[in-house]
């Protein structure tokens, strides 16, 4: 691995959930009871997934967020530690750990309902506590499964300390005006891009248009992930499309998180955006060929073994 540049750490501030995953032949209709194929529990949460993806690509990672003082919380913390992630910023609270109830159908598409639990208690004080970690970090990664106010504060501290802010606005919701100018890299899928750009739909044909609209709001880079249709990367005055790696999908859970974590890790290592995107695309392609969230996230060696 190349020598690490100064400020070689990624800080991930966000959610930790226990995923409760049912495999089903198809999505049930309203009021329907449907027999499923199988059920597993799997460590997840967008924040934790992104932290694991960073770590498995070789980055030094600090995770910050909240879990419950319960069995799920202990399991989530242990899973992060097993990947070498610093969990000093993961606080155990009196409430329950967040859970995500996931159905995955035979077409590898998923449907997810989240009960935030301890994630909802993430506070501005938690963001302030990140100051020491951000002082020697190169990238702060944020998502929308925790309250907005601490995210905005964390982004402001990161900007103050010269640390790049990467935002994944998922689950899809509007950004407060205060957050837009603090974002350096905006990474979002078609659904999130449609909401934020206010276009009727976003797909491979018009993702560049959506990205151009979003750049006007303040980010330096906008990256629209399009699943099997690849990725669009846009900066001021330029846009580029990257093809996806062709695979047979089994489960798309955590594919976006894997992409974001791998992208962050490569940027921290000093890769160009182009090289980082190609690596992240390969990581996400491996992820969708496996079931589960963190269980599906590949190692650095696996990603480097994928032909382009």
Give the domain CATH number at 165. 3.40.1190.20
Please say whether the beta carbons of 278 and 257 come within 8 A. Answer: no
pLDDT tens across 77-87, in order?
999 999 999 99
Q: Is the pLDDT of residue 1 over 60?
A: no
Examine residue 34 and state whether it is found in any structural domain, yes or no: no
Of 62, 184, 251, 257, which residue is the catalytic one? 257
Q: Is the pLDDT of residue 291 over 90?
A: no
Q: How many Cα atoms are found within 13 Å in the side-chain-facing hemisphere of 170?
A: 24
Query: Is residue 235 within a helix (H) or strand (E), and if so which, with residue range?
Result: strand 231-235
Mean pLDDT within 254-271 = 96
Burial class (CB in 10 A: 0-12, 13-18, 19+), 148: middle
Number of domains composing the chain: 1
Q: Is the pLDDT of residue 285 over 50?
A: yes
H/E/C letters for each residue in 110-165?
EEEEEECHHHHHCCHHHHHCCHHHHCCEEEEEEECCCCHHHHHHHHHHHHHCCCEE
Q: Is the pLDDT of residue 307 over 90?
A: no
Q: For residue 296, what are the domain limits?
A: 9-16+45-97+119-304
- Check residue 261 and give its pLDDT: 98
How many distinct helices (H) and strands (E) make up the chain? 10, 13
Examine residue 102 and state whether it is found in any structural domain, yes or no: no
Mean pLDDT within 231-256 = 92
pLDDT tens across 107-166, in order?
888 888 889 999 999 999 999 999 999 999 999 999 999 999 999 999 999 999 999 999
Per the prediction, the chain carries an average pLDDT of 94
Please say whether the beta carbons of 24 and 291 come within 8 A. Answer: no
pLDDT tens across 32-81, in order?
999 999 998 989 999 999 999 999 999 999 999 999 999 999 999 999 99
Examine residue 3 and state whether it is found in any structural domain, yes or no: no
Examine residue 38 and state whether it is found in any structural domain, yes or no: no
Active site residue 70: no
Examine residue 142 and state whether it is found in any structural domain, yes or no: yes
pLDDT tens across 168-201, in order?
999 999 999 999 999 999 999 999 999 999 999 9
> Cα(32)–Cα(28) distance, rounded to whole angstroms?
6
> Cα(196)–Cα(194) distance, rounded to whole angstroms?
6
Sign of CA dihedral 201, 202, 203, 206: positive
Examine residue 36 and state whether it is found in any structural domain, yes or no: no
- Check residue 251 and give its pLDDT: 82
- Check residue 2 and give its pLDDT: 46
Mention every residue, 6+ apart, whose C-beta is less than 8 A from residue 193.
Answer: 199, 202, 207, 210, 211, 214, 224
Q: Is the pLDDT of residue 252 over 90?
A: no
Examine residue 50 and state whether it is found in any structural domain, yes or no: yes
The residues pairing with 23 across neighbouring beta strands, listed in sequence order, are 38, 104
Examine residue 281 and state whether it is found in any structural domain, yes or no: yes
What Rg do the C-alpha atoms of the chain give, in angstroms? Answer: 18
Mean pLDDT within 243-260 = 92
Q: How many Cα atoms are found within 13 Å in the side-chain-facing hemisphere of 62?
A: 22
pTM > 0.85: yes or no: yes
């Amino acid at each position: 691995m190349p020598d690490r540049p100064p400020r070689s750490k990624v800080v991930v501030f966000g959610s930790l959930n226990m995923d409760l995953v049912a495999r089903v032949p198809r999505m049930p209709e309203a009021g329907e009871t449907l027999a499923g194929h199988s059920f597993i529990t799997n460590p997840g949460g967008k924040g934790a997934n992104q932290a694991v993806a960073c770590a498995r690509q070789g980055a030094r990672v600090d995770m910050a967020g909240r879990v419950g003082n319960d069995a799920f919380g202990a399991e989530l913390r242990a899973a992060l530690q097993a990947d070498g992630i610093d969990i000093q910023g993961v606080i155990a609270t009196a409430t329950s750990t967040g859970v995500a109830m996931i159905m995955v159908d035979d077409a590898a598409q998923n449907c997810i309902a989240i009960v935030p639990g301890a994630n909802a208690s993430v506070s501005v004080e938690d963001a302030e506590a990140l100051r020491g970690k951000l002082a020697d970090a190169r990238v702060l990664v944020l998502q929308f499964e925790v309250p907005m106010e601490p995210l905005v504060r964390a982004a402001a501290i990161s900007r103050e300390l010269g640390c790049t802010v990467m935002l994944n606005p998922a689950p899809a919701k509007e950004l407060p005006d205060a957050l837009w100018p603090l974002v350096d890299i905006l990474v979002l899928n078609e659904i999130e891009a449609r909401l934020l750009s206010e276009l009727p739909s976003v797909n491979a044909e018009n993702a560049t248009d959506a990205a151009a609209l979003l750049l006007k709001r303040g980010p330096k880079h906008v990256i629209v992930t399009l699943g099997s249709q690849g990725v669009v990367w846009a900066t001021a005055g330029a846009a580029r499309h990257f093809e996806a790696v062709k695979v047979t999908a089994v489960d798309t859970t955590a594919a976006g998180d894997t992409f974001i974590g791998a992208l962050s890790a490569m940027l921290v290592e000093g890769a160009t955006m182009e090289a980082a995107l190609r690596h992240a695309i390969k990581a996400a392609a491996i992820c969708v060929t496996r079931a589960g969230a963190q269980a599906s996230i590949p190692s650095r060696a696996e990603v480097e073994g994928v032909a382009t």
